[in-house]
Amino acid sequence: MSNNEALVREFCDAWKARDVDAILAYFHADAVYHNIPIEPAVGTDAIRAVVEMFVPPADAIEFEVHHIFSDPSGDVVFTERTDRFDMGGKVISLPVAGVFELRDGKIAAWRDYFDLQTFMTQSA
């Protein structure tokens, strides 16, 4: 496993603690986080706003990584995951394909591809 693959796996595990500041520490100040069905968040302030929509209301969060690999440069890491959020007595289980671009040991870009309707149906 490459260093960046290990970093992404560590980042995914960090969500369990539900510590917004610890999660944000993995990002470059100018990072882009894009949940593909919605508009991208640019910069850590915008990323914080997105993360705070999920972390404080959740009783539990788990990103289960099924597969992880990187391109030959090691700077792009792909994940296949199931993200689980226990929110208000409902468990949302979302299949996700994620792409991380890393620079200097931090996340410069994170794109998650998932079906928004799956999320909306489970959270209704």
| Domain encompassing residue 82 | 3-123
Cα gap 115→76, rounded to integer Å: 22
pLDDT 10s digits, 34-74 = 999 889 999 999 999 999 998 999 999 999 999 999 998 88
- The one catalytic residue in 13, 75, 86, 112 is 112
When divided into structural domains, the chain yields a total of 1
How many C-beta atoms surround the C-beta of residue 53 within 10 A? 10
Q: How far apart are CA 110 and CA 46, in angstroms?
A: 13
pTM assigned to the model: 0.93
CATH of the domain at 8: 3.10.450.50
Note the pLDDT tens digit of each residue in 1-45.
689 999 999 999 999 999 999 999 999 999 999 999 889 999 999
112 is catalytic: yes
* pLDDT digits 0-9 by tens, 67-111: 999 998 889 999 999 999 999 889 999 999 999 999 999 999 999
83 carries an active-site annotation:
yes
Q: Are strands 41-42 and 27-35 parallel, antiparallel or unpaired?
A: antiparallel
Which residue is catalytic, options 30, 59, 83, 86?
Answer: 83
